[in-house]
Structure 1
């Protein structure tokens, strides 16, 4: 997900070409013969110029900011969600006493709202000048075209994040798929090596799923799988990596103080899942099998080896009906 409260200029998204935005505001200042072309983001009750034209007479710099509480042209656009054109601010009864005019250099302003794809306002795109202006309809339409380009860039960010999410997320359960586990798990091992942390891997499998699918149908099977996924989401910490790696098979990769930490987690999860199953008569024959492994030597940790070992212990558990330790 895109953090719409993060400052675009200070924390740029890897798929956002801020140089393109810079070229856009430079062109705006040139075409409108104005002191300033700028794109402004509103976040955390503050306006921030994320792109400002680099002409010498521009009084507004990139990352210049001003508070929502101050009367400003950008604030009016955010309040009305409409365009704003003031050709002579000093002669305007409404704007002559506004700080950008009475205490600053602003004499003319033309701006439009910029929106995130979800409909919330990103901020504004505007042409600001230190002299009065007489912009015609063609110039106003031109600024709309620039605005639409910025809106399209923001849409691309949302589309990128959605595609990335689909690529690493299991559609049914909304936890990581195998690809997501590989991406996040590799990074988790690197972090564990760096900070000298221990890693645990838990392999989970729902018992008697074939019987459930044969007697109650695959919709009931999907519901049982989703129940386990939701139980995992409620039981795991934010730092734990949850993944669906098969039809009814899940993995949890976690940082653990010791093997006892993993045992307690598995016992608690088994109890919570059993409690959820008892609420639905369709799941009366289902239960949970698990196996786990633990390493306190992250330098030698290999994700595939840990998965294979946890999987082996899970099948030992399923065969004997008892949890199998990681030895």
Structure 2
């Protein structure tokens, strides 16, 4: 059984472009300044994709260390949706680091690899108190599912590449047994 390190799987440029279109569309439709796809690493979280909106303080490739109380950390550790309508009025979030950027409302969903590992989040942040309505939540959920389908494809591609490399190594080293390489047999129809 081959185990993949999902943190090392690259996301193809075409997929990133599709995700960029999604986050831009979500921000435009909802009129919320920041929509992000975040990617988590063992000690950091990265803005993987950021909406190209005028009041979005985040840029792709921005990184922050984990363990400082970010909204996305709660989504990642809980593996569930988080809604904060106004962090300034919520004692659980009134010291959140995003408040320094003026972002007080948050809606985030976890994004998972097909093996269950957390990729990160898709989230929206607003500079004013916000009641996230059902159409907005449904739109974000739909995009989350699309992203997870893309991750499944990337995961399967990485798995096939790893299996191919493993098979090539076995063939080159002469280490091929009946478990590694099976001859192709052709049967005739009678």
Please indicate the TM-score interval, normalised by the length of the shorter structure: 0.7 to 0.9
Deviations 1:125-159 (A, max 9, x none): 00111111122122211110010011000000112
- Counterpart CA distance in 2 for 1:16 and 1:68 is 28
Match of 2:32 among 15, 31, 34: 34
Question: How far 1:113 sits from its partner (Å)?
Answer: 0.3
Question: How far 1:17 sits from its partner (Å)?
Answer: 1.7
Cα contact 2:6–2:117 (8 A) shared by 1: no
Q: For CA contacts below 8 A with separation 6 or more, give which structure has more relative contact order.
A: 2
Match of 1:225 among 147, 163, 177: 177
- Counterpart CA distance in 2 for 1:130 and 1:153 is 30
Cα contact 1:5–1:43 (8 A) shared by 2: yes
Match of 1:142 among 129, 133, 139: 139
SS in 2 for 1:19: helix
SS in 2 for 1:112: strand
Provide the aligned length of Structure 1 versus Structure 2. 182
Shift in CA distance, 89/130, structure 1 to aligned 2, threshold 3 Å = same
Greater share of residues in helix: 1
Q: Does 1:176 pair with 2:168? A: yes
What RMSD, in angstroms, separates the aligned Cα atoms of the two structures?
2.9
- Counterpart CA distance in 1 for 2:35 and 2:24 is 6
Shift in CA distance, 93/13, structure 1 to aligned 2, threshold 3 Å = closer
Match of 1:65 among 63, 66, 72: 63
Q: Does 1:133 pair with 2:130? A: yes
TM-score, normalized by length of structure 1?
0.50
- Counterpart CA distance in 2 for 1:68 and 1:112 is 17
SS in 2 for 1:5: helix
Where does the alignment leave 5 or more consecutive residues of structure 2 unmatched?
Answer: 185-190
TM-score, normalized by length of structure 2?
0.83
- Counterpart CA distance in 2 for 1:245 and 1:121 is 36
- Counterpart CA distance in 1 for 2:143 and 2:183 is 47
Shift in CA distance, 14/137, structure 1 to aligned 2, threshold 3 Å = closer
Cα contact 2:38–2:46 (8 A) shared by 1: yes
- Counterpart CA distance in 1 for 2:15 and 2:38 is 16
Q: Which has the larger radius of gyration?
A: 1
Deviations 1:140-192 (A, max 9, x none): 111100100110000001122334455x37xxxx63289x86xxxxxxxxxxx
Shift in CA distance, 145/14, structure 1 to aligned 2, threshold 3 Å = closer
Alignment of 1:1-327 (within 5 A): 3-6=5-8, 12-14=10-12, 17-101=15-99, 103-165=100-162, 168=164, 175-176=167-168, 225=177
Cα contact 1:177–1:245 (8 A) shared by 2: no
